[in-house]
Amino acid sequence: MQIHEPSRQAQRLYKALLARGVECISEYSDGFKHVDIAILKAHLYVEVDGLNHFIDPDQIIRDLKRSHFTDGDDFRTFYVTNQILKYYLNKVVDALVKVVDSRLSK
């Protein structure tokens, strides 16, 4: 089993979500794929990706194929870049808290 180390930005997001009372798991494996942060009660995965996930066509294709592993299980994946978190961590956390609340109230 491969051990994943969270990136600095993923760690910052995870700790900020915990500080806001969001129950989440860092470096979660759903049996098919690994995700940076899982918010299981809200059926939400969070992927913190570097720029290569948005500019490298081979990486984009791998990510598109990978996203189908959760088809049909009502989990959704939110993707955010390291660059966005570097400058807008608190705003992203505010938005995710609202998304989690919305998904839990359904």
C-alpha to C-alpha distance for 67 and 3, rounded to whole angstroms? 21
Structure confidence by residue, pLDDT tens digits, 27-72: 998 777 789 999 999 999 999 998 888 888 998 888 787 776 555 5
Mean of per-residue pLDDT scores for the chain: 88
Listed in sequence order, the DSSP H helices in the chain are 8-19, 52-55, 57-67, 82-104
Query: Could you give all domains of the chain from N- to C-terminal order, each with its CATH number?
Result: 8-96 (3.40.960.10)
Residue with tokens 């400058």: 87
In angstroms, the CA 14 to CA 8 distance is 10
For the chain, the 3-state helix, strand and coil shares in percent, each to the nearest 5, are 55, 20, 25
Q: Which of the two residues, 65 and 18, has the higher pLDDT score?
A: 18
